[in-house]
Chains A and B, each alone.
Chain A
Amino acid sequence: MYWGVDVGSTYTKITGINADHDVIDFAVIPTIINQDEIVKNYLKDKTVTMLVATGYGRHMIGDALSCPVISEIKAHARGAYFSNHEAQLVIDLGGQDSKVIKLDKSGGFVDFRMNDKCAAGTGKFLEIAANRMGLDLESFSKLGFEADKELTISSMCAVFAESEVISLIAQKESVANICYGVHESIASRLASMARKFASNSEYIIFSGGGALNPFLKHLLSLKLEKKIITPEQPQLVGSLGAALAGAEI
């Protein structure tokens, strides 16, 4: 078995594949403390031919478990290409980072863009907004479809955007409309990051936890005027890519 572990800021994802590259096992565990122990525990009774770490905690896992590491960019490129060989572009929305990766014909990445240290336009912002509404992310992500007004959030900063959400609540805007505004703000940021590469890409893969959000996918597709494909388990794309890299060593 070949394993990939993707330690993200919010969740740690583990994927196991066999020699034929079929996904046999996977797990999504909240990222808290002692992540290396949790990963070690998870793999304790399993056959581990190779383990490759990726994600922002990759070096910590790499040191603790003496395994090779690859960057998230490379991992997402591999995972996305595996899920769809036509893939030309990957948009990944994680808890803390968002990135856009342009692929070559064999799944290697040729160029990429990534957010800087700002949290606007990342999954974290969606989570903050959902919390403000007293909703879980899953219900929050569907409500946008019911909006009857195109609200916009104009703040560039996640902290100030949260204040904007609070004032919209105070103005008695409907939850669905606020939800629309929050998603619109994130989709705009992702789209502007992706636009340069997206213009000549037909197959765009949306990965990361953010891709589980159907309304965000809908808005992104509208903004880029492209069809967007979400793999079955988009949050596993990075760990799958790491496992695949391990299988090829």
Chain B
Amino acid sequence: MGVEVHKELLSSLGLDVAKHAKMMAAGLEGYNKQFLSQPNRPEGMKYFDWFMSEIQGQRMVEINALRAQKKPAVGTFCIFVPEEIVVGAGGSCYGLCGGSPATIADAETELPRNICPLIKSAHGFKLQKTCGYTQSADFIYGETTCEAKKKTWEILGKHHPVHVMNIPHMKRDKDLQMWKEEIEDFKTHIESVTGKKLSLEEMKEGTRIINEKRKAMLRLDALRGMDPDVVPISGKDGLFVTQVGFMDDPVRYTQKVNELCDELEQRVADGVSVFEKDRPRLMVLGTPFAVPNWKLHTAVETTGGVIINEESCIGHRYYKDNVDLEDVKTEDDMMQKLLDRYAKVDCACFTPNMGRTEKIIQMYKDRKADGVIYYTLSFCHTYNVESHLVTEALEKEGIPCLIIESDYSPEDMGQIKTRVEAFLESLAFKKKAKAFKGIS
């Protein structure tokens, strides 16, 4: 299996098939090496291993089958896309490739060196024509969450259709009003792809599907981290399942995550852990991890720690809130409820954004975590600057925190491992000291 059998479809999408095959082979090799070698993985991971092998094969077939029926395929880089609308229209909404260092050199022919690796990697995928998702997209959904993205859309727009949604940076009433209009515009744009008006019932159905998906992801999040004695799944597997949530068909995905969660629930009941007891349990805060960015999780979990959740866009920030469908009678109600949900997203693009800090402290207490790693991609100014306020608040609460800023290149792996190792040593020491009951 894999991309070979789908060569014809991929080439019809304008992909550079040879280069793409090479990249996929490297990606799969990295996955197999880092994931399949983990001990005692849950059976339920088999589906996600299969998904990885078909990430740009079978999934491309499915997306393009929808397109053949004039259903929209929307590529995104941000969790502000009202995917409920896309799914309501019967289409597919997915995250685009943007986590590999292999496309960055190409991107730098059009973009400056010192902007974030996610944008550069994603832009490079378009220039190289090596991402099936990008090539399948009817349009790319851009937003105004940071300066670099905002300007990149203008350049990317020369290579692929882009629809930009203006996300405000404050949450005052006048900002929210504008935001609601943006959601309405987005719906109109989707209708222009399908050629027909989207009904209220369709939007509700799309919302139900996405609500269920987010509920399943939240369930997984709780199973990963709420019981301090059992780690039923590695953080790396947990992260990958979350990453797949941005690519897979939402109905099938929800079912598979729930199946995995049933198994994990049983594991928690039986005390089946993938790691030895007393490993320091860490939360990761900050910027998203696009496939195949598994660098930090690998560094932590091969060094004696475990990551129990990601307070990230590919993580808790995405699935923590749902759209309340109760009392939705008109299209305007629907738009308002969508806005209510999206306005709860605590992205660092907002000022002020104190809700995020409060959430992190609560999450830390609920999960009885041992420490946090504040992770930011290089040049991600909002999250990077916000780290000062967040870590200051964490320090006040006595929460141990390590800040790591990195990009996709492998060259700082040594330094990251040293820092993580030292951080884990200090946490293990504190954990031991806390458990010490004196000498009787």
Contacts and interface: CB of A to CB of B under 8 A. Distances in A.
Contact of A108 (B406, B418, B426): B426
A96 to B, nearest CB: 9
A117 B411 contact: yes
Interface string B390-419: 000000000000000110000110110011
Contacts of A73: 418-419, 421-422, 425
Nearest to A115: B415
Interface in A75-131: 97, 108-112, 114-117
A72 interface: yes
Query: Which of B406, B411, B419, B429 gathers the greatest number of chain A CB atoms within 10 Å?
Result: B419
A72 B418 contact: yes
A112 B411 CA distance: 21
A71 B418 CA distance: 6
A9 to B, nearest CB: 9
Contacts of B421: 71, 73
Interface in A57-74: 70-74
A56 interface: yes
Nearest to B414: A56
Contacts, number: 37
Nearest to B419: A114
A118 B284 CA distance: 24
Query: Which of A74, A114, A117 gathers the greatest number of chain B CB atoms within 10 Å?
Result: A117
Contacts of A56: 414, 418
A115 B419 CA distance: 10
Contact of B426 (A110, A114, A115, A117): A110
A117 B415 contact: yes
A74 B421 CA distance: 9
Given A108-B429, A116-B405, A71 B412 contact: no
B405 A72 contact: no
Nearest to A109: B426
Contact of B425 (A70, A111, A115, A116): A70
B429 A114 contact: no
Contact of A109 (B406, B411, B418, B422): B422
A175 B78 CA distance: 53
Contacts of A115: 415
B422 A117 contact: no
Contacts of B418: 56, 71-73, 97, 114
Interface in A105-161: 108-112, 114-117
Contacts of A108: 426, 429
Contacts of B405: 116
A57 to B, nearest CB: 10
Contact of A74 (B411, B414, B415, B425): B425
B118 to A, nearest CB: 18
Contacts of B426: 108-111
Query: Which of A71, A108, A114 gathers the greatest number of chain B CB atoms within 10 Å?
Result: A71
Contacts of B429: 108
B414 A112 contact: no
Contact of A97 (B411, B415, B425): B415
Contacts of A71: 418, 421-422, 425
A97 B417 CA distance: 13
Contacts of B419: 73, 112, 114
A117 B340 CA distance: 42
Contacts of A111: 426
Contacts of A97: 415, 418
Contact of A112 (B406, B412, B422): B422
Interface in B321-364: none
Nearest to A101: B422
Contacts of A112: 419, 422
B296 to A, nearest CB: 14
A56 B413 CA distance: 11
Interface in A25-68: 56
Given A71-B422, A114-B415, A116-B406, 18 more contacts: A71-B425, A72-B418, A73-B422, A73-B425, A74-B425, A97-B415, A97-B418, A110-B426, A111-B426, A112-B419, A112-B422, A114-B418, A115-B415, A116-B405, A116-B412, A116-B415, A117-B411, A117-B412
Interface of A: 56, 70-74, 97, 108-112, 114-117
Interface of B: 405-406, 411-412, 414-415, 418-419, 421-422, 425-426, 429
Can you list the 7 inter-chain pairs with the closest CB atoms, starting with the nearest?
Answer: A73-B422, A117-B412, A71-B422, A71-B421, A74-B425, A114-B419, A56-B414
6 contacts: A56-B414, A71-B425, A74-B422, A112-B419, A112-B422, A114-B419
